[in-house]
């Protein structure tokens, strides 16, 4: 179906939105694109993001409030460069921002910054989370006292540099017929500051119960994990990367496995796709980005929102990009 998406921040370039309902409002946590002058490449060096803004809305079609800068890379003690996609979770009166950032060895780690308000400011901790790696943290509050982080991204996201949570001597990609490199999921500690366990693979199965293969470019995971629940099911959604789709798979628990179901969003203008899905005031919404306002330049992306709908059987109606 072709739905009319709305641009949210026309005066600036924001991307990779993580969205939650806090204090009865929609809060948007995007990355911040800027004109860096760095040539575009597959490692994403042109995404030279230096800070995060926080936005809020009282209604999905209402006015957008910019709360200003909530965290700067220069304020992170272990910072190297590149603040990519972040997410925020709430527990026991505090808000926790999880952010990927390259350290001084140019390796992505995931950091934590803590705030008293959903809009920040967020104060970063001295060190990244122990055992963390790669990009795109997304946190699920399961409603049972547990929070789960989903993370990982290929190519510039460096996930191909790891196996069984250990760094490899050299990055390695599986053959086309082998299982695809999966996203990761890990339960967070009670204080929200560390991993409570070893990260596990997020396995996506095909219609025959077999793991998706690396050569299945139309369906396999690339980056941009997101998790939400609907009708008692867990919906794991993600970007396929170089085939430019947002797909989803469903399962019965936060760890999976998850069975591939379909496409949520067809390709948009620009190379990347990244999103979040949230229920608000009885409706569901897909927040994402494209590069149309910048003339298709991948590194200058703009936030969008569009209503998302389910079929009676719980499948999601495909939205045309």
Q: Which of 16, 33, 119, 216 is catalytic?
A: 16
State whether the Cα torsion 276-56-6-43 is positive or negative: negative
Residues with Cβ within 8 Å of residue 34, at least 6 apart in sequence: 13, 48, 49, 50, 300
Listing DSSP states for 204-236 in one string gives EE-TTSPBPBTT-TTTS--EEEEEEEETTEEEE
Q: What is the C-alpha separation between 247 and 232, in angstroms, rounded?
A: 19
**Catalytic site residue 313?**
no
Instruction: Give the Å distances, CA to CA, from 218 to 79, 206, 263.
Output: 35, 12, 9
* Residue keyed to tokens 């910019």: 66
**Catalytic site residue 223?**
yes
Phi, psi of 221 (to 5 degrees): -70, 145
Q: Which of 33, 119, 216, 223 is catalytic?
A: 223
Which structure tokens are listed for 74? 């220069």
Instruction: Give the Å distances, CA to CA, from 59 to 8, 55, 109, 120.
Output: 12, 12, 34, 20
Which structure tokens are listed for 246? 């947002």
Catalytic residues: 16, 223
């Amino acid at each position: 179906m072709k739905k009319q998406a709305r641009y949210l921040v026309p005066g600036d370039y924001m991307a990779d939105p993580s969205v939650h309902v806090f204090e009865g409002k929609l809060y948007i946590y995007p990355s911040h694109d800027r004109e860096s002058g760095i040539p575009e490449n597959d490692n994403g060096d042109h995404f030279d993001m230096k800070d995060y803004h926080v936005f809020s809305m009282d209604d999905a079609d209402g006015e957008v409030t910019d709360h200003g800068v909530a965290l700067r890379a220069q304020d992170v003690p272990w910072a190297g460069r590149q603040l990519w996609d972040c997410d925020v979770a709430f527990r026991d009166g505090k808000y926790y921002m999880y952010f990927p950032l390259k350290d001084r060895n140019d390796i992505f780690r995931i950091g934590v910054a803590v705030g008293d308000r959903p809009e920040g400011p967020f104060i970063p901790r001295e060190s990244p989370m122990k055992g963390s790696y790669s990009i795109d943290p997304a946190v699920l509050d399961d409603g049972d006292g547990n929070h789960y982080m989903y993370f990982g991204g290929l190519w510039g996201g460096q996930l191909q540099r790891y196996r069984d949570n250990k760094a490899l001597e050299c990055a390695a990609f599986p053959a086309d017929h082998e299982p695809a490199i999966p996203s990761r999921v890990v339960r967070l500690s009670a204080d929200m500051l560390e991993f409570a366990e070893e990260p596990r693979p997020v396995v996506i199965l095909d219609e025959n119960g077999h793991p998706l293969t690396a050569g299945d470019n139309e369906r396999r995971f690339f980056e941009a994990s997101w998790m939400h629940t609907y009708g008692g099911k867990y919906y794991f959604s993600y970007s396929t990367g170089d085939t430019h789709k947002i797909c989803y798979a469903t399962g019965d628990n936060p760890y999976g496995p998850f069975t591939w179901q379909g496409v949520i969003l067809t390709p948009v203008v620009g190379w990347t796709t990244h999103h979040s899905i949230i229920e608000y005031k009885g409706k569901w919404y897909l927040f994402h980005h494209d590069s149309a306002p910048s003339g298709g330049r991948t590194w200058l992306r703009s936030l969008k929102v569009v209503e998302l709908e389910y079929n009676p059987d719980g499948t999601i109606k495909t939205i045309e990009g």
